Chains A and B, each alone.
Chain A
Amino acid sequence: MLAVVLGYSATSNKQIKTEQTMPETVNDKRVFSLLEVTKSIQKTLDDRYKSSFWVKAEMNKLNFYKHSGHCYPELIEKKDGKVIAQIKSYLWKSDFNRVNNNFQQILKEPLKDGIKILFQAKISFDPSHGMALWIMDIDPSYTLGDLEREKQETIQQLIDEGIYNKNKTLRLPLLPQRIAIISVETSKGYADFLKVIETNSWNYKFFHLLFPSILQGDKAVQGITGQLKRIRKVKNHFDVVAIIRGGGGDVGLSCYNNYHLAKEIALFPVPVITGIGHATNETVSEMISFSNAITPTKLAEYLLQKFHNFSVPVQEAEKKVIDKSRRLLSEENTKFQSEVKLFRSVTENILITNRNEVKSVISSLLQYAQFIFKNQNDYLRTAKSDIVKETNSLFINAKQEIKNFSITILKDTHSKLNHYQLIVSQLIDKLYSQSGLKFKSILLELNNIEKNIANMSPTNVLKRGYSITLLDGKAVKTIEQIKSGDLINTTVFEGNIISIVNSTNKKTDQ
Chain B
Amino acid sequence: MSEKLNYTQAFEELQTIVSEIEQGEISVDELSEKVKRAAQLIKICKLKLTTTEEDVNKILKELGTASTDDDE
Q: Chain B, 38-71, contact with A by CB distance < 8 Å: what is the 0/1 string?
A: 1100100110111110101011001100110110
* Those of A297-345 within 8 Å (CB) of chain B: 307, 310-311, 313-314, 316-318, 320-321, 324-325, 328-329, 332
A313 to B13, CA, bound (A): 12
Check if A456 is an interface residue, CB within 8 A of chain B.
no
A177 to B48, CA, bound (A): 9
The reply to whether B8 and A174 form a contact with Cβ atoms under 8 Å apart is: yes
* Those of A205-259 within 8 Å (CB) of chain B: 205-207, 209, 229-230, 233-234, 237
The reply to whether B31 and A329 form a contact with Cβ atoms under 8 Å apart is: yes
With an 8 Å Cβ cutoff, the count of chain A residues facing the other chain is 32
The reply to whether B59 and A209 form a contact with Cβ atoms under 8 Å apart is: yes
CB distance from B28 to the nearest CB of A (A): 5
Check if B5 is an interface residue, CB within 8 A of chain A.
no
Residues in B with CB closer than 8 Å to A8 are none
Contact status of A324 and B21, CB under 8 A, knowing A202-B49, A317-B14: yes
A320 to B39, CA, bound (A): 12
Contact status of A314 and B52, CB under 8 A, knowing A320-B18, A324-B21, A329-B31: no
CB distance from A313 to the nearest CB of B (A): 7
The reply to whether B69 and A233 form a contact with Cβ atoms under 8 Å apart is: yes
Which of A173, A178, A230, A314 is within 8 Å of B63, CB to CB?
A: A230
The reply to whether A174 and B21 form a contact with Cβ atoms under 8 Å apart is: no
The reply to whether A204 and B42 form a contact with Cβ atoms under 8 Å apart is: no
The reply to whether B51 and A205 form a contact with Cβ atoms under 8 Å apart is: yes
A240 to B52, CA, bound (A): 14
The reply to whether A318 and B42 form a contact with Cβ atoms under 8 Å apart is: yes
The reply to whether A234 and B59 form a contact with Cβ atoms under 8 Å apart is: yes
The reply to whether B22 and A320 form a contact with Cβ atoms under 8 Å apart is: yes
Binding site for A on B (CB under 8 A): 7-8, 11, 14-15, 17-18, 21-22, 24, 26, 28, 31, 34-35, 38-39, 42, 45-46, 48-52, 54, 56, 58-59, 62-63, 66-67, 69-70
Residues in B with CB closer than 8 Å to A455 are none
Residues in A with CB closer than 8 Å to B26 are 328
Binding site for B on A (CB under 8 A): 173-175, 177-178, 202-207, 209, 229-230, 233-234, 237, 307, 310-311, 313-314, 316-318, 320-321, 324-325, 328-329, 332
The reply to whether A230 and B66 form a contact with Cβ atoms under 8 Å apart is: yes
The reply to whether A317 and B49 form a contact with Cβ atoms under 8 Å apart is: no
Residues in A with CB closer than 8 Å to B8 are 173-174
A470 to B52, CA, bound (A): 178
Chain A interface, >50% SS class: helix
A317 to B46, CA, bound (A): 12
A204 to B8, CA, bound (A): 16
The reply to whether A328 and B42 form a contact with Cβ atoms under 8 Å apart is: no
The reply to whether A314 and B56 form a contact with Cβ atoms under 8 Å apart is: no
Q: A174-B7, A328-B26 are in contact. List 19 more A-B contacts (CB 8 A).
A: A175-B7, A175-B49, A177-B48, A177-B52, A205-B49, A230-B70, A233-B69, A234-B59, A237-B54, A310-B11, A310-B49, A311-B45, A316-B18, A317-B38, A320-B18, A320-B21, A321-B38, A324-B22, A325-B31
Residues in A with CB closer than 8 Å to B56 are 209
For B17, B38, B49, B58, which residue has the most chain A Cβ atoms within 10 angstroms? B49
Which of B7, B35, B46 is within 8 Å of A325, CB to CB?
A: B35
A317 to B38, CA, bound (A): 8
The reply to whether B7 and A310 form a contact with Cβ atoms under 8 Å apart is: yes
Residues in B with CB closer than 8 Å to A175 are 7, 48-49
Complex A-B, nearest 7 residue pairs according to Cβ-Cβ distance, in ascending order: A233-B66, A207-B52, A207-B54, A324-B21, A314-B45, A317-B18, A321-B38
